[in-house]
Amino acid sequence: MKDLQDILVQTISVAKEAGAFLREERKLFNGASVESKGLNDLVSYVDRESEKLIVARLREILPEADFITEEGSAGRDGKSYTWIIDPLDGTTNFIHGLPVYSVSIGLKYESEIVLGVVYEVNLDECFYAAKGLGAYCNGHRIRVSEAKTLGQSLVATGFPYSAFKQIDEYLSVLKKLMEKCHGLRRVGSAAVDLSYVACGRYEGFYEYDLKPYDVAAGIIIIQEAGGRCTDFSLGNNYLFGKEIVATNGHIHDEMAADIQKAWNLVP
């Protein structure tokens, strides 16, 4: 494997460059440029131009790598190294002028995420990690919360916006967790949610109908911060399996058990 520290430094620079582009474009943004990829699945030229910028810069860092990208502007997952990119995580927030959105860049080596950078544009917070090197925000080491129970926890989620087949199960999870934890939050960027678990602002996060580019960077940041990621069944299919439970580790089994009951995963 290549030198992850060197790649990480360069990737942080790319994420911040893309973030600066998003910041400037938001000042001039015209909602008339918004397109729909599907039910409530929005995109604009900003997403596409940010992705082009990121892909071009990352090709310079690892010319041999493939890409998985939200807007599909480059590559496929087929080589040892694969970049997994969301050029604007929180597009709906961006379009409506709500200040929570981010750039998310993950790097997969073989079957494992080994590097991740999430740059939250509005607060100018850059969360990053690489395998074995720890997790950081703006140069400061971060760790997950020490809360031991759901009763001591703040939990985040993402609302389904097009996959409504399991909406009843989802609402059942909400009910169970509302009755147990300090509260539930939905900020609209899964990459930011995962980063907030890593730095201890949340104790847990869960969501379904996710894509790899929603979670890739956040996964390694949480793991390097001492947290835990699984799918709803406590398995390892959380990158491509469209569902994730991410916690500080202490509350993981308790939170996953409630999700499993609501999701009819246990008798």
Read off the pLDDT of residues 147-190 as tens digits, 9 standing for 90 and up: 999 999 999 999 876 667 788 999 999 999 999 999 999 999 99
Give yes or no on whether 4-141 and 150-262 have one common fold: no
**Alpha-carbon torsion angle 203, 132, 11, 28, nearest 10:** 10
Q: Span 181-203, mean pLDDT?
A: 97
Range with the poorest average pLDDT among 41-55, 104-118, 226-240: 41-55
Dist. CA 45–CA 126, nearest whole Å: 24
Average pLDDT over residues 18-24: 95
Residue 38 pLDDT level (bands cut at 50, 70, 90): very low
pLDDT of residue 44: 74
> Is pLDDT above 70 for 60?
yes
Annotated binding site: 70, 86, 88-89, 214
Each residue of 11-20: pLDDT tens digit?
999 999 999 9
Nearest to 210 by CA among 265, 162, 153: 162
Q: Region 103-122: what's the mean pLDDT?
A: 97
Of these ranges, 33-37, 74-78, 89-93, 220-224, the one predicted with the greatest mean pLDDT is: 220-224
CATH of span 150-262: 3.40.190.80
What value does the mean pLDDT take over residues 27-46?
61
pLDDT digit string, tens, across residues 135-146: 999 999 999 999
Q: Which of 61-75, 154-168, 244-258 has the highest mean pLDDT?
A: 244-258
Domain positions in the chain are 4-141, 150-262
Residue with tokens 């089994």: 253
Please work out, in degrees rounded to the nearest 5, the angle formed at the alpha carbon of residue 221 by the alpha carbons of 216 and 223: 100
Read off the pLDDT band of 39 (50, 70, 90).
very low
Per CATH, which fold does 4-141 belong to?
Fructose-1,6-Bisphosphatase; Chain A, domain 1 (3.30.540)
**Is residue 32 very low, low, confident or very high in pLDDT (cuts 50, 70, 90)?**
low
Range 187-197 average pLDDT: 97
Residue 70: predicted pLDDT: 76
Helices 212-224 and 190-198: crossing angle in degrees, nearest 10, is 10
Q: Which residues are known binding-site members for Mg(2+)?
A: 70, 86, 88-89, 214
State the average pLDDT over residues 190-206: 98
Q: How confident is the model at residue 30 (pLDDT cuts 50, 70, 90)?
A: low
